[in-house]
Amino acid sequence: NAGVTQTPKFQVLKTGQSMTLQCAQDMNHEYMSWYRQDPGMGLRLIHYSVGAGITDQGEVPNGYNVSRSTTEDFPLRLLSAAPSQTSVYFCASTSGTSVLNTGELFFGEGSRLTVL
Amino acid sequence: KNEVEQSPQNLTAQEGEFITINCSYSVGISALHWLQQHPGGGIVSLFMLSSGKKKHGRLIATINIQEKHSSLHITASHPRDSAVYICAVREGGSEKLVFGKGTKLTVNP
């Protein structure tokens, strides 16, 4: 059981370049989310999705796009990378929603992104 | 805005000591998570609580909904417990999680 698979693990970009961080889960989880982790700060929610075709913004959505065409995949797109987006990114999924409230969190291994 | 505060920020212990990490939050929640982040960076879920107490091996998590407070206890601590422990809460009726900044635990042999 692969759990949450996140790629790439490391990426260096130049300012203005675009890229996509991939996230896939094989647990049929409805809820998926993207976070960034910066030194001295807690994990901050970028975007989340409660099911295929449904996405919403989190705390720090600017500069990032997401889509959820399937239950399994939730890619995060940086359209024009900026140095402020240098961070470690985590994808997570859970079986629970605010209604069902059953969900253990499963995290990907993280992606370290540097924007020069 | 829901604030999640963890204390202490850093904690150093000797092997075998009993460890307590605290988490306080400011609004009503539907669930609270305790997570562990190892030095390599990976994050794993330890507990999800909505009330009461849970135990897994040497780890115990408690929550007091009325006082908006949770604690994570580690009994007979071991150097392999060295990690950052993170508290996260889901506000009632919300799909969003709010995270504390983490508590860095170092257990010396």
The pLDDT of residue A71 is above 60 = yes
Q: Do B33 and A42 touch (CB under 8 A)?
A: no
Q: Which residues of A touch B50 (CB under 8 A)?
A: 101
Q: Which residues of A touch B41 (CB under 8 A)?
A: 88, 109-110
Q: How far is A57 from chain B (nearest CA, A)?
A: 10
- Percent of chain A residues past pLDDT 70, beyond the cut: 92
Question: B9: part of which helix (H) or strand (E)?
Answer: none
User: CB distance from B41 to chain A under 8 Å?
Assistant: yes
Cis bond upstream, residue A61 (ω within 30) = no
Whether the CA torsion A1, B95, A38, A61 is positive or negative: it is positive
DSSP-derived 3-state class of residue B5 = strand
Q: Which residues of B touch A42 (CB under 8 A)?
A: 4, 86, 98-102
- B5-63 tens-digit pLDDT: 999 999 999 999 999 999 999 988 888 999 999 987 899 999 998 889 999 999 999 99
The pLDDT of residue A101 is above 60 = no
DSSP string of B50-103, one letter each residue: SSEEEEETTEEEEEETTTTEEEEEESS--GGG-EEEEEEEEETT-S-EEE---E
- Which of B109, B102, B100, B48 minimizes the C-alpha distance to B78? B109
Q: Which residues of B touch A92 (CB under 8 A)?
A: 43
- Which of B57, B1, B45, B51 minimizes the C-alpha distance to B25? B1
Q: What is the average pLDDT across B81-108? A: 91
Polymer length of chain A: 116
- Which is more confidently placed, A48 or B91? A48
> What pLDDT, on a 0 to 100 scale, did the predictor assign at position B73?
98
Q: Do B99 and A44 touch (CB under 8 A)?
A: yes
Q: How far is A14 from chain B (nearest CA, A)?
A: 24
User: CB distance from B99 to chain A under 8 Å?
Assistant: yes
> What pLDDT, on a 0 to 100 scale, did the predictor assign at position A96?
62
The pLDDT of residue A32 is above 60 = yes
Give the closest of B42, B90, B94 to A109, CB-based: B42
Cα distance between residue A114 and residue A82, in whole Å: 9
- Which is more confidently placed, A30 or A66? A66
The two tokens of residue B80 are 């392999």
Binding-face residues of A in 83-102 toward B, CB within 8 A? 88, 90, 92, 96-98, 101
**Confidence band (pLDDT; 50, 70, 90) for A94?**
confident
Q: Which residues of A touch B92 (CB under 8 A)?
A: 98
> What pLDDT, on a 0 to 100 scale, did the predictor assign at position A99?
45
> What pLDDT, on a 0 to 100 scale, did the predictor assign at position B102?
95
Q: What is the average pLDDT across A13-24? A: 97
> What pLDDT, on a 0 to 100 scale, did the predictor assign at position B10?
96
- B91-101 tens-digit pLDDT: 877 778 889 99
End-to-end CA separation in angstroms for chain A: 36
Q: What is the average pLDDT across A47-76? A: 95
A95-99, B27-31, B84-88 — which is least confidently predicted?
Answer: A95-99
- Which is more confidently placed, B2 or B56? B56
Q: Which residues pair with B56 in a beta bridge?
A: B59
Question: A42: part of which helix (H) or strand (E)?
Answer: none
